[in-house]
Amino acid sequence: MIRALIFDCFGLFYPDPVLAYTNDPSTPPPIANALDSLEEQGDLGKISKMEFVAQAAALLNITLADAEQRFFHSDMRNEQVVVFVQQLRKNYKVAMLSNVGGDMMDGFFSPRQRRQLFDEVVLSGDVHMAKPDKAIFELICQRLGVELREAVMIDDRQKNCDMAKSFGMRSICYQSFEQLSADLAALTK
């Protein structure tokens, strides 16, 4: 029986700001690789938001303010998914599990918004582990009071979905709202 739904943030609620650069063919590979490395360090809490901003600004030859705006603020929230989560919360425990530095989320969801939308939130930088590490999946399920087999991981990265499945969870690899809605309906019949 499914008791909990666990959502990634970037790729579902918001476009992934680093992926926008690393997937852009006009971004030189050394810069794309350096941005990937910065993201991984932030995901594990090894660098702060301000350290990320300073290094990204230097890499992209932009101001600190521009780097902060590009990577840590967005008005492109997928409200369809937000409303869906609010509806789902009536019948399921709902959580956010995102690979992001602990001090890097507020420009997307304030602490108040996170409390309103989710029963639990785990940001990888706060716990110094990241998806697809089994321990972070176990942690979010523990905080929700459910077993891995009672949870569905919803993520836009196939690797994270595949690993969640290998640990006994169910998963949905997000491609569109319509696909998510249909796949979740099929899982919860």
Q: What is the DSSP letter of 122?
A: E
Q: What percent of the chain has pLDDT over 70?
A: 100
| Distance separating alpha carbons of residues 107 and 73, to the nearest angstrom | 5
Cis peptide before 15 (omega within 30 of 0): no
* Torsion angles phi and psi, residue 111, rounded to 5: -55, -40
With a CB cutoff of 8 Å and minimum separation 6, the contacts of 167 are: 134, 137, 138, 148
Name the pLDDT band for 98 (thresholds 50, 70, 90).
very high
Which pLDDT value is given to residue 171?
Answer: 98
Q: Is the pLDDT of residue 189 over 90?
A: no
Residue type, 134: K
Task: List phi, psi (to 5°) of 54.
Answer: -60, -45
How much is the pTM? 0.95
pLDDT higher than threshold 90 for residue 21? no
